[in-house]
Amino acid sequence: MTRIDVAAFWALAIAFTAAAGVPGSKQAAPRAAPVVDRRFVVAPNSVRVFAGNSVLFHVASAGVPPGATGWSVIGPGTIGADGTYRAPQDPGAGAIVVAYAHGFASASELTVVAPPDPSARIALVSCYDGGEIDVRDAGAQSSIGTASTGGAAAGIAADPRRRIAFVASGERLASFDVRSAVTEFSAPIAGVRFSEVALLANGFVVATDNDAGRDRAGVRVFRIGEDGMPVLAASAAAGETPEGLAVSRDGRTFFVTNVNGNSVMRFDFDGRGSVRLRASAATGHRPFGVAVDDTRRLLFVADNDTPTVSGSSSRPGLDVFSLPSMRRIGRLTTGTPNALPLGVGVDSTANRLFVTNEGDGTVTAYSIAPLRRLATLTVDRTPWLPAIDARAQRVYVPSALAGSYSVFDEHSLRPIAHAVPTCGYPTAIAVM
């Protein structure tokens, strides 16, 4: 269900009515008021919630005066004034969530479910709206269950060995234990807005803070306690607006893009919690996504530029750097001048490179050796960070504005699943 901006709707209605009533040279007869199709719908309209976890409901409305919405639940669990439903500890029950305002009411059904089978192959979709983690069957793409981080869920990284997913959630790093469907959180760090997350060597986790300024602590490294709680281990300064994150195969080198600093940085990790900046290179305008090919010693950076931002100096596309020198050796266009290339995914073994173009609503597929374009894949609106499932040789693409994701075969580039509905504003996916 598409969200509707109530204020914008009423502004449009008022403008339409005013325009209809402007007198001409003669007094016009009164016109009938436009008929407004009133809608008041709870979203999500059907959801599976992990036992002991929570999910945030909201109302999509049109033609209904703005104001406070009341919430109630019929069945087990509780719901707060903000629409956050908290499930009981035991799975198997069903409940109905009801929202009401100004004489309107709408309901959504939910089921309280157990954690996934420990051997199940799953995809975890991280959604910014509501901070949800949508756990899906990686084969059938069917919903297994939903959990909430209680805030905006951004980047996600999966540790298959420990069956834990790590999620950037505002000022905190969340760890979601798939075996128990329990979420733990780091202590909040004031002024931080975590964005992307990746696994480092020896079980450490690194996250970027895209609210950080130049030479401030824009990179944070966490160790994971025995209770599953992330604990801050180290910080490192980065550039202006650190965002994109890519880690080498051994987990001891990682790369960070600085969106408003127009640079990419290489950091070394000692495996015990310390990081050190080793090199930096200039990129095009607004570097966002980044991916590394350890086999061919290449680094790929997507420049999320557009003529609207940079005018005649706009150079949206893909930068290619040689490692470890960080010397730029190539540049590719990925779509139209307004393509807004954003995410990059690499599978060295499959010799595949994927770039999402949020402006074009496409994914450009390349072979790496030789570096050449293979196809342009059509997806839903605003594709974000692609996720590679090397084991199944699939690429997952979340489409943020559409609230869906698509899956493609890496070799044939044919769609396996298209526009699978998920939680609101999905930006990242992890597979385990």
Q: In 10 A of CB 373, how many CB atoms?
A: 14
Return the residue matching tokens 């496409």: 362
Paired tokens of 396:
């997952």
- Asked if residue 45 lies in contact with residue 108, where contact means CB atoms within 8 angstroms, the answer is yes
| CA–CA separation, 157 and 127 (whole Å) | 13
Q: In 10 A of CB 96, how many CB atoms?
A: 13
DSSP string over 346-408: EETTTTEEEEEETTTTEEEEEETTTTEEEEEEE-SSSB---EEETTTTEEEEEETTTTEEEEE
Query: Bridge-partner residues for 405, per DSSP?
Result: 398, 420
In tens, the pLDDT along 129-178 reads 889 999 999 999 999 999 999 888 999 999 999 999 999 999 999 999 99
Cis check for the bond before 118: say yes or no (omega within 30 of 0). no
- What mean pLDDT do residues 3-31 have? 37
Q: In 10 A of CB 9, how many CB atoms?
A: 16
pTM of the model: 0.86
pLDDT of residue 9: 30
| CA–CA separation, 54 and 146 (whole Å) | 8
- CA 115, 120, 126 angle in degrees (round to 5)? 65
In tens, the pLDDT along 248-283 reads 999 999 999 999 999 999 999 999 999 999 999 999
Paired tokens of 131:
């901070």
pLDDT range class, residue 225, cuts 50, 70, 90: confident
Q: What are phi and psi of 365, to 5 degrees?
A: -105, 135
Q: In this prediction, what percent of the chain has a pLDDT beyond 70?
A: 90
Coil, strand or helix at 7: helix
Q: Which amino acid makes up residue 153?
A: A
Query: Bridge-partner residues for 61, per DSSP?
Result: 40
| CA–CA separation, 429 and 432 (whole Å) | 10
- Asked if residue 134 lies in contact with residue 146, where contact means CB atoms within 8 angstroms, the answer is yes
In tens, the pLDDT along 37-51 reads 667 888 888 899 999
Q: Which helix (H) or strand (E) holds 10?
A: helix 6-20
DSSP string over 212-258: --TTSEEEEEEEE-TTS-EEEEEEEE-SSSEEEEEE-TTSSEEEEEE
Structural domains for the chain: 6-13+38-113 (2.60.40.1080), 122-431 (2.130.10.10)
In tens, the pLDDT along 232-252 reads 999 999 999 999 999 999 999
Per-residue exposure over 279-296, b if at least 16 CB sit within 10 Å of its own CB, e if not: ebbebbbbbbbbbbbeee
Q: What are phi and psi of 282, to 5 degrees?
A: -75, 145
In tens, the pLDDT along 326-348 reads 999 999 999 999 999 999 999 99
Residue closest to 339 by CA, chosen among 374, 290, 388, 288:
288
Residue closest to 260 by CA, chosen among 243, 277, 235:
243
pLDDT range class, residue 315, cuts 50, 70, 90: confident
